[in-house]
Amino acid sequence: MLTGCALNMPVPVSDPTPSSARYPAAQTAPATLYFLDQQSAEAKEKMVTGRIPMKPMYADQPLDSAAWLARNTFAELRARGLPATLASKESEAQDVVQIQLINSTTHRVSGFSPFETYTRLKADLVTPAGSQRLAFWIKRGKVPVWSFDEVIEPTFNIPLGLMSKDLAAQINKYVFKASFSDAQVDALVAKVESAGDAIDYRDVFELGFGNNRRAIPALVKLMAHGSDEISHAAISSLGFLDATEQFGAFKAMYESRGSDKEDRGIALKAICDLSSPEARGYATQQMTELKDKDESDARFFADILSLYL
């Protein structure tokens, strides 16, 4: 019944609160950005797909997903202390973010199971040095108890907010190249390690967004955490930090047929984020093997690979 009531229901999307942790004052040159929406007309119209179609809304109007993402990504860059400015047209920009896909795919087995979303982004960052693929993928789920409105914050607003923060961190990685200081990383690691079972998944993502490889040992420990939110955040952050030495661990996790599909999926995403020829070759090989298969699991993993290949 709850699933039926959710069909085409409006989903009010809100702006995330920008991060409070700033990168140290860096000797980085200002950069002018332009966000270009290259999504197909169908993708723009149907941002939410899957078993339960829903209608994202912002300020009582249908959500313009690319404009929303551009605005909140820029706000995040500025909140981090980065010298970013927005161009009014593409010809005036030094760096262009070409948004190819913003999508949330819904899934639910029954009225007693979690409502789940798989939120993803596919974009290219075009700079004077060349083009760099930017991708985001995350799973979130929630069982509604009293009404379906309960799923909106955890399965739509939180993933979209993380998307804008992740995109800002990726732009920093390739354009501004700012990093948290070692002291900032150490303080964040101490906070995570002292939290016990109450670790905040946002702190784990922050270890990646800090763009300092000093966080890698702590993130490796968190890969085996009992909470999917924590372990997936750690694996995603290791991919962001280009922890190529973890390729074998990611590969073993992805190839473990006894593991949950989502665990295998986040491991595959981390492999795609690595810069090593070994990782890129493996991702290409997997796409070749999966692209013509029609099984649901094959389509699931091929969708992740398609964000990169």
CA dihedral 275, 278, 283, 286 (to 10 degrees): 180
What is the per-residue DSSP string for 62-88? Answer: E--HHHHHHHHHHHHHHHTT--EEE-S
| Tally of CB atoms within 10 A around 60 | 7
pLDDT, position 71: 98
The residue written with tokens 């939410």 in the block is 48
Assigned domain for 196 exists: no
Q: What is the pLDDT of residue 115?
A: 87
pLDDT the model gives residue 4: 46
Q: Which residues fall within 8 angstroms of residue 20, CB to CB, at 6 or more apart?
A: 79
Q: Which two tokens stand for residue 290?
A: 């999966």
Residue 6: give the domain boundaries. Answer: 1-177
Residue 196 falls in which region: left (phi positive, over 0), alpha (psi -120 to 50) or beta: left
* Mean predicted confidence (pLDDT) in 232-238: 98
Tell me, yes or no, whether 241 lies in a domain.
no
Sheet holding 61-62, edge to edge: 10-12, 55-58, 61-62
Q: What is the mean pLDDT of residues 77-97?
A: 96
Task: Please work out, in degrees rounded to the nearest 5, the angle formed at the alpha carbon of residue 16 by the alpha carbons of 140 and 50.
Answer: 35
- pLDDT tens-digit map of 145-186: 666 678 889 999 999 999 999 999 999 999 999 999 999 999
d(CA 70, CA 87): 12
Closest CA to 168 of 62, 95, 261: 95
- Summarize the confidence of residues 273-293 as an average pLDDT: 96
Domain of residue 90, CATH code: 3.40.50.10610
CA distance linking residue 151 with residue 11, whole number of Å:
10
Residue 258, pLDDT score? 76
Tell me the average pLDDT across 26-50.
91
Establish if 234 belongs to a structural domain.
no
Residue 6 confidence (pLDDT): 57
pLDDT the model gives residue 228: 94
Paired strand residues for 35 = 97
pLDDT of residue 100: 98
Angle at 186 between CA 184 and CA 191, to 5 degrees: 95
118 pLDDT band (50/70/90 cuts)? very high
- Compute the mean pLDDT over every residue in the chain, rounded to the nearest whole number: 93
The arithmetic mean of pLDDT across residues 238-265, rounded, is: 95
- What is the tally of structural domains in the chain? 1
